A and B are shown apart, each in its own frame.
Chain A
Amino acid sequence: MADEAILMKNVCKDFKVLNRHEGLKGSIQDLFSRDYRTVSAVKDVSVTVNKGEIVGYLGPNGAGKSTTIKMMTGVLEPTSGQILVNGLVPYKDRTRNCENIGVVFGQRSQLWWSLPLIESFKLLRDIYLVPQKEYEDMIALYRSLVDIEPILHKPVRQMSLGQRTLSDILAAFLHNPGIVFLDEPTIGLDVSMKSKIRDLIRGLNKEKHTTVILTTHDMGDVDALCRRIVIIDKGKKIYDNDIEHLKSYFGSYRTLRMRLGDDTWEERVIDEKTTDVMEVISQMQKTHKIKDIQLQEISTEEVIKKIYEGGSL
């Protein structure tokens, strides 16, 4: 019990959606319609996350990721199943649950738009009732991890997207929560900012043993931060294990790259269990001249893409 930050057991979430009709006539019909259908956004998902873990929570758009996160934060109530976050039932104890979680949504900011960042920090300090000593320690920790001086006194609305995201992440960790939910934290950022943010997240996780739930579509984030990933698709959990394991789980795939006579690289993803690599090369050699051959481990990105597309390549 003590080691579990999040416990989800057979969680389901259904939504009632109005069946909309087409055209103007349809729109008028909809005004009086009681014609609902049930959409299952999350189906029977069970996940346990231990304290201090960084878990990548992946899935294609519309898979039910946000719905799950909203249930874990207490905004949504599950239709059935059990959720415990830091030992609390989130939707019943929403306020207390909120005291012990932090959230970052890459596309939205919780900071006070027209005020300098430091004022948002002070405000959050008071809202979360953080003792002054802990607040100062946290700011000191931030200083040691990133260069916050240039942004500390800058109004949030004047910040670049990268600075704003960085600030939002710092704001989410400010009250030293047990769990932080990061929803696409690196969306829209440049390469160097992405790596800065990854370092920051890793640093904070290490220093404070904060559990991090990371949803992202950027496999670079996953490779850099997560040892374990959970994948859901169409509301169902389809993978929950180490990231290394992932690459062999869906077949022993490798990428075969061949440089042909006209200096172009030809790429093939091959399942070594079912296809013979040499066979492919000799087939290719019959029609093309091969100058160079490389055999690479498949990237996480490609594995994930395969999974999202339904397992066949």
Chain B
Amino acid sequence: MSLRKFLALTRAGIMESLHYRLGTIVTLFANLIYLVLVYYLWKAVYASSGVEQVNGMTFTDTMIYLILATALFNFLEMFVVWDMSRSIQSGKIILDLLKPMDFRSYTFWSYSGSHVVSFVLTFIPTFIVVMIVTRGAIHMGLNLLYFAISVVLALLINFGIEMLVATVCLYTESTWGINIVKETIVLLLSGASIPLAFFPERIRDVIGYLPFRAVYDIPLTVLLGKGGSDSLAGLIKLWGLQFIWAVVLYVAGVLFWNHSVKKITVNGG
């Protein structure tokens, strides 16, 4: 019966996102500007290096990676921290706490609709454009299915990170700074702004085990058929890392939230 609750929230989320259609167009436009910038930046990097391949990636590889990373970023981006800090300050959070659902799943499913919309309206169009421009540089096969599985895990991990940081809001009541720090760390260490191949090897070894990589780098690696994801063993290794982090973040998030929610003092009223 829970499924009925979840799908109702997804449905409402889709309707709400579609309502702000102008926002979607603006996002697409902003992406375009950002990607032009990225294009010239990396063109300069490759021109100055004087070689075809930098860290095993050609210019085209890097561009495909970064364009898809941007699209994936738009798709996976969540505003849990931001929304939660606002609803704590305004006291509105009490209305969410009074829904006959576990708060965590209520929050997750409330956001699910907007993910569906941004997947269809930003990720898929970007993917198609990349396909056309690169004339099929991305292999189309089972890797799409593997990618889908990887993305779902990435979504759960990203939500786990968001919820952990959002729970901190219950203590600080101000989250702007914390949120900026979180976003910077995620963007830098996840591969969303610089392909992880460009990091020095030692740092890369460490980053390889962190949860941030599991959000952007692993799904992209799987999609592009790199990093050993063309073999079943390599694939399971990548999925395994994602899965472990999803579970760890879930357990940590639930424990932290349950402990913290008792301290909650809802403002006003």
Which of A124-132, A256-264, A284-292 contacts the other chain?
A: A124-132
B interface residues, tally (CB under 8 Å): 29
Check if A101 sits within 8 Å of B98, measured CB to CB: yes
Chain B's closest residue to A215 (CB) is B269
Interface string of B1-28 (1 = CB under 8 A from A): 1001101110110011001100000000
Looking at the assembled complex, report how far the CB atom of B88 sits from the nearest CB atom of chain A, in whole angstroms.
12
Q: Confirm or deny: A110 has a beta carbon within 8 angstroms of a beta carbon on chain B.
A: yes
Contact for B16 among A66, A109, A114, A126, CB less than 8 A: A114
Q: Which residues of B contact A74 (CB under 8 A)?
A: 98
Docked-complex contact A105 and B5, CB < 8 angstroms = no
Chain B CB within 10 Å — which of A95, A125, A126 has the most? A126
CB contact list, A103-127 vs B, under 8 A: 103, 105, 107-110, 112-115, 119, 122-123, 125-127
Q: Does A73 have its Cβ within 8 Å of any Cβ on chain B? A: yes
> Is the beta-carbon distance between B97 and A119 smaller than 8 angstroms?
no
Identity of the chain A residue whose Cβ is nearest the Cβ of B15 in the assembled complex: A115
Contact A129 B1 (CB under 8 A): yes
Q: In the complex, which residues of chain A have a beta carbon less than 8 angstroms from the beta carbon of B16?
A: 112-115
Q: Cβ of A75 < 8 Å from any Cβ of B?
A: yes
The residue in A73, A125, A127 that gathers the most chain B C-beta atoms within 10 A of its C-beta is A127
A75-B264, A75-B266, A77-B262 known; A119+B15 contact, CB < 8 A: yes
Closest beta carbon of chain A to B46's beta carbon, Å: 45
**B94 interfacial by beta-carbon distance below 8 Å:** yes
Say how far B7's CB is from chain A's closest CB, in angstroms: 8
Binding site for B on A (CB under 8 A): 15, 66, 70, 73-77, 94-96, 98-99, 101, 103, 105, 107-110, 112-115, 119, 122-123, 125-129, 183
* Interchain CA distance A96-B90 in the complex, whole Å: 26
Distance of A143 Cα from B65 Cα, bound (Å): 56
CA distance A109 to B16 in the complex (A): 16
Residues on the A chain within 8 Å of B90, using CB = 108
Q: In angstroms, how far is the closest chain A Cβ from the Cβ of B151? A: 26
Q: How far is the CA of A183 from the CA of B269 in the complex (A)?
A: 8
Closest residue on chain A to residue B96 by CB atoms? A110
Is B208 part of the binding interface, using a Cβ–Cβ cutoff of 8 Å? Answer: no
- A127 with B20: CB separation less than 8 A: no
Contact B269 A126 (CB under 8 A): no
| Chain B residues with CB below 8 A from A96, complex form | 100
Q: Are A128 and B100 within 8 A (Cβ)? A: yes
Closest partner residue, chain A, to B7 (CB atom)? A126
Contacts of B265 in A (CB 8 A): 15, 76
Q: Nearest Cβ distance between residue B54 and chain A, in whole angstroms?
A: 45
Shortest beta-carbon distance from B99 to chain A in Å: 6
Q: Across the interface, do B19 and A115 meet the contact criterion of CB distance under 8 Å?
A: yes
Tell me what chain A mostly uses at the interface: helix, strand, loop, or mixed. mixed
Q: Which residues of B contact A110 (CB under 8 A)?
A: 95
**Complex CA–CA separation, A105 to B1 (angstroms):** 28
Would you call B101 an interface residue if the criterion is a C-beta within 8 Å of the partner chain's C-beta atoms? Answer: yes
Are B15 and A107 neighbours in the complex by a CB distance under 8 Å?
no
Evaluate contact between B102 and A105: CB separation under 8 angstroms: no
User: Does B92 sit within 8 A of A, measured CB to CB?
Assistant: yes
Q: Find chain B residues with CB under 8 A from A112 CB.
A: 12, 16
Q: Known contacts being A70-B94, A115-B15, A129-B5, is A98 close to B100, with CB within 8 Å? A: yes
Interchain CA distance A290-B262 in the complex, whole Å: 63
Question: What are 28 contact pairs spanning A and B, CB under 8 A?
Answer: A66-B268, A70-B94, A70-B266, A73-B94, A74-B98, A75-B97, A75-B98, A95-B100, A98-B100, A108-B90, A108-B95, A112-B16, A114-B20, A115-B19, A119-B12, A123-B9, A123-B12, A125-B8, A126-B4, A126-B5, A126-B8, A127-B8, A127-B99, A127-B100, A128-B100, A129-B1, A129-B4, A129-B5
Give bound CA distance, A103 to B95, whole Å. 8
Min CB–CB distance A130 → chain B (angstroms): 10
Known: A66-B269, A114-B16, A125-B8. 7 other contacts (CB 8 A): A75-B98, A77-B262, A96-B100, A108-B95, A115-B16, A127-B8, A127-B101
Q: How far is the CB of B131 from chain A (nearest CB, A)?
A: 34
